Each structure stands twice: as C-alpha cells, then as structure tokens.
C-alpha cells in the first residue's frame, strides 16, 4: 500500500510483511466487504496509487496500480492487476492519462501527501475523478488503530476528515462524501469523491 518512500524502514515493513498485510483481508472479510460496497467503480481508464496487494484494484476493476513495495506488487499482479513500481510523488504517466484515480488507505503512509495529490491531479483527464478513502483519526476505528501496536500503523499518520478536505480542495472539488460504520462509529471509513479542478 505504500505509495512513496519515507525511509528504508518503511519500505522494508511492506516488503517483509506483505503476506501478513494481505492476510488481514481474509481474517476481516466482513469489514473488507463493507469497504468495497461504498467505493465507486471506475468508468474509463483507472489508476490506484498505493495499490498494495491489489485487494481493491482487483475487485473494483481498476486497470493499473502503482506501489513502491515489490512484494506487494507481486501479489497484486497475481490478482490480475497491471502494476508499475513507482512512488506517489513522481508518477510515471503522461498528463491527463486517467479517467479515475484512487487512493485507498494510502494517504496516511505518504511523506508528502500534497505533492502526491498534485500528481494525481496531473495524470487525471479534465473532468476526471479522484476517489480518496481513509480511516479518519477522529473516528472510533481511527482512534483504536492509532494506538495499536502494529508495524504498519506505527508508520502511519492518520488524518482528520477536515484535514483531508483541506488537502483535496487545493486541486479538486469534493462533490460527494460517503461514510460507513465498520466497527465503532459512523465515520470509521470515509470516501471522498472529487472532480479535477481545471487550472
């Protein structure tokens, strides 16, 4: 899921524990299903930034996934996702390539989310859509995850909903926000659906 290198330790966590990360979705199949249910499916050429093991891209029908973790990409490729090794701040695609760009759970792992969102804006076609899904820091689940002794969550920076809104509004117009209770609160899982602003 890591879309941009912060340091070697982070890259190693996702490479060394790729299978453990991926197995979470099997152990928590009900939560995974609830998440999938509220994410809009792409219409047109699509990209997932921080594709990880391809759990979302493969189910949603996303065409291409980028990630920095080679082992994660290997699993995603086995799920039928076309993969490219890249970080989120320097996407190897031409301007205005994609109709849809997805960032699902990855924002909290990025060193420079502003730059990564600018790259998402660059590779989106005019009129294209960005879908960003998070577990907010101020949700019931976010509060639990931020305290959890997990090798993944230790390197995450959970954002409040308002912080993500402020980041997105620099380059996008938020036109819909979908929320879902996973375990503790109505905003355990939040997806922002955005339109690219023409500059």
Does the residue 143 lie in any domain? yes
| Residue 152: closest CA among 29, 83, 52, 78 | 52
pLDDT for the residue 151 = 64
pLDDT in tens, 92-123: 999 999 999 999 999 998 889 999 999 999 99
pLDDT for the residue 169 = 95
Does the residue 2 lie in any domain? no
pLDDT for the residue 9 = 43
Provide the whole-model pTM: 0.92
* Residue keyed to tokens 């290997």: 74
What 8-state DSSP symbol labels residue 139? S
Query: Is the pLDDT reported for residue 45 higher than 80?
Result: yes
| Residue 95: closest CA among 66, 63, 124 | 124
pLDDT in tens, 123-148: 999 999 999 999 999 999 888 888 77
Range of the domain at 89: 8-196
- What CATH number is attached to the domain comprising 76? 3.40.50.150
Does the residue 35 lie in any domain? yes
Query: Is the pLDDT reported for residue 83 higher than 60?
Result: yes
């Amino acid at each position: 899921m890591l879309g941009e290198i912060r340091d070697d330790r982070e890259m190693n966590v996702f490479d060394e524990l790729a299978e453990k990360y991926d197995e979470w979705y099997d152990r928590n199949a009900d939560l995974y299903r609830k998440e999938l249910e509220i994410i809009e499916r792409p219409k047109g050429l699509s990209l997932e930034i921080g594709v990880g093991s391809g759990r979302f891209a493969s189910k949603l029908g996303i065409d291409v996934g980028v990630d920095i973790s080679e082992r994660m990409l290997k699993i995603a490729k086995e799920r039928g996702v076309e993969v490219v090794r890249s970080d989120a701040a320097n996407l190897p695609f031409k301007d205005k390539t994609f109709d849809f760009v997805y960032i699902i759970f990855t924002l909290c792992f990025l060193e420079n989310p502003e730059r990564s969102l600018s790259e998402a804006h660059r590779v989106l076609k005019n009129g294209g859509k960005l879908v960003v899904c998070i577990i907010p820091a101020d949700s019931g689940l976010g509060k639990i995850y931020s305290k959890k002794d997990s090798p993944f969550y230790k390197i995450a920076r959970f954002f409040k909903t308002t912080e993500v809104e402020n980041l997105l509004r620099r380059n996008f117009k938020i036109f819909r926000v979908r929320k879902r209770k996973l375990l503790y609160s109505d905003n355990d899982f939040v997806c922002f659906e955005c339109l690219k602003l023409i500059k």
